[in-house]
């Protein structure tokens, strides 16, 4: 079993749609969690951290369920510029981050 698993997609959605990505992790001792965004042929960039209480940043909402070892990212009112690959990332301890394979999102006009 992979340490961090994501649905690879692609998710093809129209502008304005709401889309949700899910991620599961295997190490129950993991302490911190992130969503990164990676545009085609570019480096990953931090989108948001994921806190236990859930957190929101504009159109983006991240949730963490420690009991189920599950992380989610919700994007509301999607824009063309949201098209990218979204990477679920887990801190495996001591600063070492484990990246999921990524979920590809394509937002169409």
Q: Could you list the residues that contact other proteins (CB under 8 A)? A: 32, 34, 42-46, 49, 87, 91, 94-102
Residue with tokens 């369920």: 65
Q: CA 102 to CA 109: how far, in whole Å?
A: 23
Of 31 and 81, nearer to other proteins (C-beta) is 31
**In angstroms, what is the minimal distance from the CB of 18 to other proteins?**
25
- HSE (CB half, 13 Å, CA atoms) of 27? 17
Of 72 and 99, nearer to other proteins (C-beta) is 99
User: Do the beta carbons of residue 51 and residue 73 sit within 8 Å?
Assistant: no
**In angstroms, what is the minimal distance from the CB of 73 to other proteins?**
16
**In angstroms, what is the minimal distance from the CB of 95 to other proteins?**
5
Q: CA 46 to CA 68: how far, in whole Å?
A: 24
Of 87 and 107, nearer to other proteins (C-beta) is 87
């Amino acid at each position: 079993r992979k340490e961090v698993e994501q649905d690879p997609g692609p998710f093809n959605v129209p502008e304005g749609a709401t889309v949700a990505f899910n991620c599961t992790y295997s190490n129950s001792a993991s302490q911190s969690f992130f969503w990164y965004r990676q545009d085609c042929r570019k480096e990953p960039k931090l989108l948001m951290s994921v806190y236990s209480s859930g957190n929101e940043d504009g159109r983006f909402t991240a949730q963490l369920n420690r009991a189920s070892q599950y992380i989610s990212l919700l994007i509301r009112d999607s824009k063309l510029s949201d098209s990218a690959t979204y990477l679920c990332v887990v801190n495996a301890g001591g600063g070492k981050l484990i990246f999921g394979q990524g979920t590809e999102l394509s937002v169409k006009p």
